[in-house]
Amino acid sequence: MHTEEPALTRLRVVRWMQLLTPLMLAWFVWAAAVTGPGFGPAGRELVVVLATATFVAGVFGRNATVRRPVRPAHVVFVAAMLVSSVTLVAVQPGGPGSVAVLVAVLCAATGLMPVRVAVPVLIAAFVVLEMAASITGQDFGFLAVLAGFAVLFGLMYLAFRLAEAQRETKRLLAEREAGQAALAEAAVLAERQRLAREMHDVLAHSLSGLSLQLEGARMLVARDPADPQLVVAIDRAQHLARNGLEEARRAIGLLRDDDLPGPDRLAGLAEQFTRDQAVPCEFAVSGEPHPLESQARLAIYRVAQEALTNVTRHASPTRVSLRLAYEATDTRLIVEDFAAGPPVIPDETDGYGLSGMRERAELLGGTLSAGATGHGFRVELAVPA
């Protein structure tokens, strides 16, 4: 509210000051009409009419084209003011031509010149007009009129410049608001994508394993309800459900900046895979460990988790290899399965699996490659050290 009131006040001042232009021009036309030779259809009278009309048109045109940078139309209107005012001085001595010259010079100086040049030009023009008035015998009243019009034009010029500055301010504010809205929308979209990746990685890993164990238990019940493997399958399903809940809590903790899973939990992830799937998962670390940012640590863990989920869903391996290598410029994670039959390649358009892994890598400035090998499928993540 406090910022709007001064702006409204300035607008009112500008509007009132802009009304001075028609008043000044009305006095100018009246003075040109009553001063000899006055208006007429021929001779010097016709020249006065044309010069007066050209000057009035130049003033309105000049005011309508006050912009930065200077436009060609603005130069044309100011030139018309100069030519018409000088013409009036020549054909109508003692008329308003001298005032018109002063106004035209002021318009040319303030519109076409830098401030450091315009001020000396205006001072020189006013001094020359004073000298001309003294030489031609003009009285002090004429000089007072010149000074009054100089002040009047200065106020009008400030009014137009203030209006232009307000228009530019409004434009910049509109651009700023649009930019802030775009940034807010991008931040919301990025947050949604991050949450989608987190929830997919957590739920896909736990629910895929849980589904397989429940399917195995169903088949055991159908074949032999007394089979001792049924208890083992149910225990594995319960373990997967419990781990899934823990992972979901960690994902929610991500929103509160709690402790995030990282490379230090890869060994436990490999042990869990071996226990739940009854498939050996070898874990190895090479190189000298170095600190990683929290998002890089989380990306390594989530990519390993998702890659093992894909192994569970799409492959029937005899063993799985999970390797973490600390290199000079990168930290590299390799998840590879070894199967007896031909590899099954995950569909990258199905869900957020491989595409989610690549998004994580790209957001960190890293790379992710995935593809079939001669004995299975391989996923390799590299993030900057």
Per-residue pLDDT band at 158 (split at 50, 70, 90): low
Compare 198 and 310 and report the one with higher pLDDT.
310
Residue entry with tokens 């048109």: 57
Residue 382 lies inside a defined structural domain of this protein: yes
Is residue 166 domain-shared with residue 276, that is, in the same domain? no
Arithmetic mean of pLDDT over the chain: 76
36 and 161 belong to one structural domain? yes
Residues 33 and 164 in one domain: yes
Q: Given pLDDT bands bounded at 50, 70 and 90, which one contains residue 304? A: very high
Instruction: Clarify whether residues 167 and 297 are in a common domain.
Output: no
* pLDDT tens figures, 327-356: 989 999 999 999 866 656 655 544 446 787
Residue 217 placed within a domain:
no
- Is the domain of 162 the same as that of 277? no
Residue 187 is assigned to a structural domain of this protein: no
In terms of domains, do 16 and 162 share one? yes
143 and 24 housed in the same domain: yes
The kind and range of the H/E element at 286 are: strand 281-286
Do β-strands 317-326 and 281-286 pair in parallel, antiparallel, or remain unpaired? parallel
Report if residue 214 sits inside a domain: no
Looking at 177, 200, 225, the residue that finishes a domain is 177
170 and 270 in a common domain: no
Tell me, yes or no, whether 24 and 161 share the same domain: yes
Choosing from 177, 199, 216, the residue where a domain stops is 177
Last residue of a domain, one of 153, 177, 201: 177
Annotate 116-138 with b (16+ C-beta within 10 A) or e (fewer).
eebeebbeebbeebeeebeeeeb
pTM of the model: 0.42
Q: Are 302 and 197 in contact (CB under 8 A)?
A: yes
Is the same domain home to 28 and 169? yes
Decide if 186 is inside a domain.
no
Picking from 231, 223, 336, the residue whose alpha carbon sits closest to that of residue 279 is: 336
Judged against a pLDDT cut of 50, whether residue 1 lies above it is answered with no
| pLDDT tens figures, 313-324 | 777 889 999 999
Are 25 and 143 contained in the same domain? yes
234 within a domain of the structure (yes/no)? no
Tell me what pLDDT residue 331 has.
94
For residue 126, the enclosing domain spans 4-177
Name the β-bridge partners of 380.
Answer: 334, 369
What domain count does the chain have? 2
For the purposes of burial, counting CB atoms within 10 Å of the CB of 239, is it exposed (0-12), middle (13-18) or buried (19 or more)? middle
In which band, very low, low, confident or very high, does the pLDDT at 53 lie, cut at 50, 70 and 90? very high
21-25, 61-65, 91-95, 163-167 — which is least confidently predicted?
Answer: 163-167
**Has residue 147 been placed in a domain?**
yes
Task: Please tell me whether residues 150 and 277 are part of one structural domain.
Answer: no
**Residue 363's domain is classified under what CATH number?**
3.30.565.10
- Give a yes or no: residue 237 inside a domain: no
